Amino acid sequence: MDIETFINKEKKLKKVYYIYAENSYLRNKFKEEFIAEFIPEAIRDFNLSSVNPGDEYLKRLKNAVQTPPIGAEKRFIISHFEEGDSLNKGEKEKLLDIFKNINQSSTLVFLTANKIDKRKKFYRTLKNHVLYQEFETPRYGDLDQWIVSRFKEHGKKIDKQSLKILENMFSNKLEILNSEIEKIVTRYPDKDKISYYDIKKIISREKFIEDEEIFKFLDLIGDKRIDQALLTLKEMLNRGVYPLYLLTMLKNQIELLMQVKFYSQYTHDNRKIAKKINKHPYPVKKALQRSRNFTQKELEKILEEILRANYHFLTGYYPDQNTALEMIIIKSIAY
Protein backbone atom coordinates (compact mmCIF):
# COMPACT_ATOMS: atom_id res chain seq x y z
CA MET A 1 0.00 0.00 0.00
CA ASP A 2 1.31 3.47 -0.84
CA ILE A 3 1.13 6.48 1.45
CA GLU A 4 -1.68 8.25 -0.42
CA THR A 5 -3.91 5.17 -0.31
CA PHE A 6 -3.23 4.67 3.39
CA ILE A 7 -4.03 8.30 4.26
CA ASN A 8 -7.20 8.27 2.15
CA LYS A 9 -8.46 5.11 3.87
CA GLU A 10 -8.03 6.55 7.38
CA LYS A 11 -11.43 7.86 8.38
CA LYS A 12 -11.09 7.69 12.17
CA LEU A 13 -7.84 8.74 13.85
CA LYS A 14 -6.01 6.15 15.93
CA LYS A 15 -4.11 6.88 19.13
CA VAL A 16 -0.74 5.66 17.82
CA TYR A 17 0.57 5.22 14.27
CA TYR A 18 3.78 3.18 14.19
CA ILE A 19 5.24 3.75 10.72
CA TYR A 20 8.29 1.92 9.39
CA ALA A 21 10.09 3.02 6.22
CA GLU A 22 13.80 2.51 5.58
CA ASN A 23 13.83 5.51 3.25
CA SER A 24 13.74 8.97 4.84
CA TYR A 25 11.87 10.37 1.81
CA LEU A 26 8.94 8.07 2.59
CA ARG A 27 8.98 8.86 6.30
CA ASN A 28 8.99 12.60 5.60
CA LYS A 29 6.29 12.21 2.97
CA PHE A 30 4.05 10.37 5.42
CA LYS A 31 4.58 13.09 8.01
CA GLU A 32 3.75 15.86 5.53
CA GLU A 33 0.65 14.13 4.17
CA PHE A 34 -0.62 13.20 7.63
CA ILE A 35 -0.27 16.78 8.83
CA ALA A 36 -1.94 18.18 5.72
CA GLU A 37 -4.87 15.76 5.96
CA PHE A 38 -5.57 15.54 9.69
CA ILE A 39 -4.14 18.56 11.50
CA PRO A 40 -5.87 21.89 10.77
CA GLU A 41 -3.42 24.71 10.28
CA ALA A 42 -5.21 26.83 12.91
CA ILE A 43 -4.30 24.42 15.75
CA ARG A 44 -0.73 23.52 14.76
CA ASP A 45 1.03 26.21 16.79
CA PHE A 46 -0.26 24.88 20.13
CA ASN A 47 -1.29 21.30 19.42
CA LEU A 48 1.41 19.87 17.14
CA SER A 49 4.80 19.04 18.61
CA SER A 50 7.87 17.00 17.66
CA VAL A 51 9.68 14.81 20.18
CA ASN A 52 12.81 13.25 18.73
CA PRO A 53 15.59 11.06 20.19
CA GLY A 54 18.09 12.70 22.53
CA ASP A 55 18.51 13.36 26.24
CA GLU A 56 15.61 12.03 28.32
CA TYR A 57 13.76 11.10 25.14
CA LEU A 58 11.25 8.73 26.76
CA LYS A 59 10.48 11.17 29.57
CA ARG A 60 9.84 13.97 27.05
CA LEU A 61 7.68 11.70 24.91
CA LYS A 62 5.64 10.53 27.91
CA ASN A 63 4.99 14.14 28.98
CA ALA A 64 4.00 15.13 25.45
CA VAL A 65 1.44 12.35 24.95
CA GLN A 66 -0.09 13.02 28.39
CA THR A 67 -0.45 16.79 27.87
CA PRO A 68 -4.06 17.74 27.00
CA PRO A 69 -4.80 19.86 23.90
CA ILE A 70 -5.21 23.64 24.09
CA GLY A 71 -8.42 24.99 22.56
CA ALA A 72 -8.92 21.94 20.38
CA GLU A 73 -10.20 18.35 20.58
CA LYS A 74 -6.88 16.74 19.65
CA ARG A 75 -3.18 17.10 20.33
CA PHE A 76 -0.69 15.60 17.84
CA ILE A 77 2.85 14.43 18.57
CA ILE A 78 5.36 13.30 15.93
CA SER A 79 8.48 11.35 16.81
CA HIS A 80 11.02 10.56 14.09
CA PHE A 81 13.73 7.91 14.46
CA GLU A 82 16.48 8.22 11.82
CA GLU A 83 18.88 5.42 10.76
CA GLY A 84 21.30 5.99 13.64
CA ASP A 85 18.67 6.18 16.40
CA SER A 86 17.85 3.12 18.50
CA LEU A 87 16.45 1.91 21.82
CA ASN A 88 17.69 -0.93 24.01
CA LYS A 89 15.41 -3.70 25.32
CA GLY A 90 14.50 -1.86 28.54
CA GLU A 91 13.75 1.37 26.67
CA LYS A 92 11.50 -0.52 24.25
CA GLU A 93 9.48 -1.81 27.20
CA LYS A 94 9.07 1.77 28.44
CA LEU A 95 8.04 2.84 24.93
CA LEU A 96 5.32 0.18 24.95
CA ASP A 97 4.06 1.55 28.27
CA ILE A 98 3.85 5.03 26.71
CA PHE A 99 1.83 3.61 23.81
CA LYS A 100 -0.51 1.79 26.20
CA ASN A 101 -1.16 4.85 28.39
CA ILE A 102 -1.44 7.64 25.84
CA ASN A 103 -3.99 10.36 26.61
CA GLN A 104 -7.37 9.78 24.91
CA SER A 105 -7.15 13.22 23.28
CA SER A 106 -3.65 12.64 21.84
CA THR A 107 -2.48 11.06 18.58
CA LEU A 108 1.16 9.99 18.26
CA VAL A 109 2.84 9.40 14.89
CA PHE A 110 5.96 7.32 15.50
CA LEU A 111 8.20 7.20 12.41
CA THR A 112 11.17 4.86 12.36
CA ALA A 113 13.93 3.63 10.05
CA ASN A 114 14.43 0.51 12.19
CA LYS A 115 12.74 -2.65 10.98
CA ILE A 116 11.13 -4.77 13.69
CA ASP A 117 11.89 -8.45 14.11
CA LYS A 118 8.36 -9.83 13.86
CA ARG A 119 9.34 -13.03 15.64
CA LYS A 120 9.98 -11.16 18.88
CA LYS A 121 7.62 -10.35 21.75
CA PHE A 122 7.99 -6.58 21.20
CA TYR A 123 6.24 -6.77 17.83
CA ARG A 124 3.43 -9.03 19.10
CA THR A 125 2.74 -6.69 22.02
CA LEU A 126 3.10 -3.58 19.86
CA LYS A 127 0.40 -4.73 17.44
CA ASN A 128 -2.15 -4.75 20.28
CA HIS A 129 -1.72 -1.04 21.00
CA VAL A 130 -0.81 0.72 17.73
CA LEU A 131 -1.67 0.81 14.08
CA TYR A 132 1.48 -0.66 12.52
CA GLN A 133 2.26 0.06 8.86
CA GLU A 134 5.30 -0.50 6.66
CA PHE A 135 6.14 1.46 3.50
CA GLU A 136 8.78 -0.27 1.41
CA THR A 137 11.20 1.61 -0.83
CA PRO A 138 10.17 0.90 -4.45
CA ARG A 139 12.48 -1.41 -6.38
CA TYR A 140 12.63 -2.80 -9.91
CA GLY A 141 9.29 -2.40 -11.74
CA ASP A 142 7.80 -0.49 -8.79
CA LEU A 143 10.57 2.08 -9.11
CA ASP A 144 9.64 2.57 -12.78
CA GLN A 145 6.09 3.34 -11.71
CA TRP A 146 7.26 5.64 -8.93
CA ILE A 147 9.30 7.77 -11.34
CA VAL A 148 6.50 7.85 -13.91
CA SER A 149 3.99 8.87 -11.23
CA ARG A 150 6.24 11.68 -9.98
CA PHE A 151 6.35 13.17 -13.49
CA LYS A 152 2.60 12.58 -13.87
CA GLU A 153 1.96 14.64 -10.72
CA HIS A 154 3.53 17.54 -12.63
CA GLY A 155 1.45 16.82 -15.74
CA LYS A 156 4.35 15.32 -17.67
CA LYS A 157 5.36 12.06 -19.31
CA ILE A 158 8.83 10.56 -19.59
CA ASP A 159 10.19 8.30 -22.33
CA LYS A 160 11.67 4.87 -21.61
CA GLN A 161 15.27 5.90 -22.26
CA SER A 162 15.00 8.77 -19.80
CA LEU A 163 13.40 6.49 -17.24
CA LYS A 164 16.30 4.00 -17.44
CA ILE A 165 18.88 6.78 -17.25
CA LEU A 166 17.38 8.11 -14.02
CA GLU A 167 17.16 4.61 -12.54
CA ASN A 168 20.73 3.72 -13.44
CA MET A 169 22.11 7.00 -12.14
CA PHE A 170 20.25 7.24 -8.84
CA SER A 171 18.90 3.71 -8.23
CA ASN A 172 16.13 3.94 -5.57
CA LYS A 173 17.60 6.86 -3.61
CA LEU A 174 14.24 8.59 -3.53
CA GLU A 175 15.42 11.86 -1.98
CA ILE A 176 17.94 12.42 -4.77
CA LEU A 177 15.59 11.19 -7.49
CA ASN A 178 12.83 13.49 -6.29
CA SER A 179 15.21 16.46 -6.22
CA GLU A 180 16.38 15.77 -9.79
CA ILE A 181 12.81 15.34 -11.03
CA GLU A 182 11.89 18.68 -9.44
CA LYS A 183 14.79 20.32 -11.30
CA ILE A 184 13.70 18.80 -14.61
CA VAL A 185 10.02 19.79 -14.40
CA THR A 186 10.93 23.29 -13.22
CA ARG A 187 13.23 23.75 -16.21
CA TYR A 188 10.56 22.61 -18.70
CA PRO A 189 7.22 23.98 -17.42
CA ASP A 190 5.61 23.95 -20.89
CA LYS A 191 6.80 20.52 -22.10
CA ASP A 192 4.35 17.62 -21.88
CA LYS A 193 6.93 14.89 -22.54
CA ILE A 194 10.47 14.88 -21.17
CA SER A 195 13.17 13.32 -23.37
CA TYR A 196 16.65 11.99 -22.74
CA TYR A 197 18.14 15.17 -24.25
CA ASP A 198 16.07 17.35 -21.91
CA ILE A 199 17.40 15.43 -18.92
CA LYS A 200 20.98 15.60 -20.18
CA LYS A 201 20.82 19.40 -20.10
CA ILE A 202 19.72 19.42 -16.45
CA ILE A 203 21.55 16.63 -14.66
CA SER A 204 25.11 17.53 -13.70
CA ARG A 205 27.83 16.76 -16.23
CA GLU A 206 29.67 14.57 -13.72
CA LYS A 207 26.66 12.28 -13.32
CA PHE A 208 26.32 11.87 -17.07
CA ILE A 209 30.02 11.07 -17.36
CA GLU A 210 29.42 8.39 -14.74
CA ASP A 211 26.39 6.97 -16.46
CA GLU A 212 27.35 7.25 -20.10
CA GLU A 213 31.08 7.39 -20.69
CA ILE A 214 32.30 5.46 -17.68
CA PHE A 215 29.97 2.54 -18.27
CA LYS A 216 30.94 2.44 -21.94
CA PHE A 217 34.54 2.49 -20.79
CA LEU A 218 33.85 -0.40 -18.40
CA ASP A 219 32.17 -2.31 -21.21
CA LEU A 220 35.37 -2.02 -23.23
CA ILE A 221 37.36 -3.38 -20.30
CA GLY A 222 34.86 -6.20 -19.89
CA ASP A 223 35.19 -7.01 -23.60
CA LYS A 224 39.03 -6.79 -23.24
CA ARG A 225 39.29 -4.22 -26.05
CA ILE A 226 42.51 -2.63 -24.82
CA ASP A 227 43.09 -0.04 -27.58
CA GLN A 228 39.61 1.46 -27.42
CA ALA A 229 39.55 1.34 -23.61
CA LEU A 230 42.81 3.31 -23.38
CA LEU A 231 41.61 5.82 -26.00
CA THR A 232 38.38 6.39 -24.05
CA LEU A 233 40.37 6.70 -20.83
CA LYS A 234 42.63 9.38 -22.35
CA GLU A 235 39.61 11.34 -23.60
CA MET A 236 38.00 11.35 -20.16
CA LEU A 237 41.24 12.33 -18.39
CA ASN A 238 41.84 15.12 -20.91
CA ARG A 239 38.41 16.53 -20.06
CA GLY A 240 39.36 16.69 -16.40
CA VAL A 241 37.78 13.57 -14.92
CA TYR A 242 39.75 12.70 -11.78
CA PRO A 243 41.79 9.45 -11.93
CA LEU A 244 40.76 8.52 -8.38
CA TYR A 245 37.09 8.95 -9.33
CA LEU A 246 37.55 6.62 -12.31
CA LEU A 247 39.40 4.14 -10.13
CA THR A 248 36.53 4.13 -7.61
CA MET A 249 33.99 3.54 -10.40
CA LEU A 250 36.10 0.68 -11.72
CA LYS A 251 36.32 -0.84 -8.22
CA ASN A 252 32.52 -0.67 -7.83
CA GLN A 253 32.03 -2.33 -11.19
CA ILE A 254 34.48 -5.15 -10.51
CA GLU A 255 32.79 -5.82 -7.14
CA LEU A 256 29.43 -5.99 -8.93
CA LEU A 257 30.86 -8.42 -11.50
CA MET A 258 32.19 -10.62 -8.71
CA GLN A 259 28.82 -10.73 -6.96
CA VAL A 260 26.91 -11.43 -10.16
CA LYS A 261 29.38 -14.09 -11.29
CA PHE A 262 29.03 -15.87 -7.96
CA TYR A 263 25.21 -15.99 -8.11
CA SER A 264 25.23 -16.89 -11.82
CA GLN A 265 26.32 -20.37 -10.71
CA TYR A 266 22.76 -20.84 -9.43
CA THR A 267 20.64 -18.76 -11.80
CA HIS A 268 20.92 -16.60 -14.92
CA ASP A 269 17.77 -14.66 -14.08
CA ASN A 270 19.03 -11.10 -13.60
CA ARG A 271 15.97 -10.17 -11.49
CA LYS A 272 16.61 -12.98 -9.01
CA ILE A 273 20.27 -12.00 -8.73
CA ALA A 274 19.35 -8.31 -8.39
CA LYS A 275 17.05 -9.15 -5.48
CA LYS A 276 19.82 -11.14 -3.78
CA ILE A 277 22.34 -8.28 -3.95
CA ASN A 278 19.80 -5.44 -3.65
CA LYS A 279 20.57 -3.85 -7.02
CA HIS A 280 18.43 -2.78 -9.96
CA PRO A 281 17.99 -5.59 -12.57
CA TYR A 282 19.30 -3.49 -15.47
CA PRO A 283 22.95 -3.08 -14.33
CA VAL A 284 22.86 -6.69 -13.12
CA LYS A 285 21.81 -7.79 -16.61
CA LYS A 286 24.74 -5.87 -18.09
CA ALA A 287 27.08 -7.32 -15.46
CA LEU A 288 25.92 -10.85 -16.35
CA GLN A 289 26.99 -10.24 -19.93
CA ARG A 290 30.33 -8.70 -18.92
CA SER A 291 31.13 -11.36 -16.32
CA ARG A 292 31.44 -14.01 -19.03
CA ASN A 293 34.72 -12.38 -20.09
CA PHE A 294 36.37 -13.11 -16.74
CA THR A 295 36.91 -15.95 -14.34
CA GLN A 296 36.26 -15.29 -10.65
CA LYS A 297 40.00 -15.56 -10.02
CA GLU A 298 40.73 -12.92 -12.69
CA LEU A 299 38.22 -10.55 -11.09
CA GLU A 300 39.83 -11.10 -7.67
CA LYS A 301 43.26 -10.24 -9.12
CA ILE A 302 41.91 -7.11 -10.79
CA LEU A 303 40.23 -5.97 -7.58
CA GLU A 304 43.44 -6.58 -5.65
CA GLU A 305 45.32 -4.41 -8.20
CA ILE A 306 42.71 -1.65 -7.91
CA LEU A 307 42.79 -1.63 -4.10
CA ARG A 308 46.59 -1.46 -4.12
CA ALA A 309 46.46 1.41 -6.61
CA ASN A 310 43.81 3.18 -4.54
CA TYR A 311 46.11 3.08 -1.52
CA HIS A 312 49.03 4.42 -3.57
CA PHE A 313 46.85 7.18 -5.03
CA LEU A 314 45.80 8.33 -1.57
CA THR A 315 49.33 8.24 -0.15
CA GLY A 316 50.84 10.11 -3.11
CA TYR A 317 52.97 7.15 -4.22
CA TYR A 318 52.16 7.82 -7.89
CA PRO A 319 53.40 11.25 -9.05
CA ASP A 320 51.56 10.87 -12.37
CA GLN A 321 48.14 9.38 -11.63
CA ASN A 322 46.99 9.44 -15.27
CA THR A 323 49.84 7.19 -16.40
CA ALA A 324 49.41 4.97 -13.34
CA LEU A 325 45.72 4.51 -14.13
CA GLU A 326 46.54 3.54 -17.73
CA MET A 327 48.93 0.86 -16.46
CA ILE A 328 46.26 -0.49 -14.10
CA ILE A 329 43.78 -0.73 -16.99
CA ILE A 330 46.31 -2.56 -19.14
CA LYS A 331 46.92 -5.03 -16.30
CA SER A 332 43.17 -5.47 -15.78
CA ILE A 333 42.55 -6.31 -19.41
CA ALA A 334 45.64 -8.52 -19.60
CA TYR A 335 44.44 -10.96 -16.92
Q: What is the DSSP string of 261-308?
A: HHHTTT---HHHHHHHHT--HHHHHHHHHHHTTS-HHHHHHHHHHHHH
Domain extent for 162 = 141-203
240 and 194 together in one domain:
no
pLDDT for 333 equals 66
Beta strands, E only, the chain:
16-20, 48-50, 75-81, 106-112, 131-134, 157-158, 193-194
pLDDT for 44 equals 95
Using CA atoms, how far residue 212 sits from 140, 166, 170, 219, in Å, is 21, 12, 13, 11
- For 224-253, write each residue's pLDDT tens digit: 788 888 888 888 787 777 777 778 778 888
- For 258-284, write each residue's pLDDT tens digit: 999 999 999 989 889 988 887 778 778
Tell which of 180, 203, 226 closes a domain: 203
CATH number at residue 251: 1.20.272.10
191 and 279 together in one domain:
no
160 and 220 together in one domain:
no
pLDDT for 210 equals 55
194 and 315 together in one domain:
no
- For 282-330, write each residue's pLDDT tens digit: 778 888 888 887 888 888 888 888 888 877 776 767 667 777 778 777 7
pLDDT for 150 equals 92
Cβ pair 168, 282 in contact under 8 A:
yes
Among the ranges given (51-60, 126-135, 157-166), the one the predictor scored with the smallest mean pLDDT: 157-166
86 and 24 together in one domain:
yes
CATH number at residue 118: 3.40.50.300
130 and 237 together in one domain:
no
Residue 128 DSSP SS3: coil
CATH number at residue 199: 1.10.8.60
Average pLDDT over every residue of 166-176: 77
30 and 105 together in one domain:
yes
pLDDT for 314 equals 66
For the chain, the domain total comes to 3
182 and 238 together in one domain:
no
pLDDT for 15 equals 95
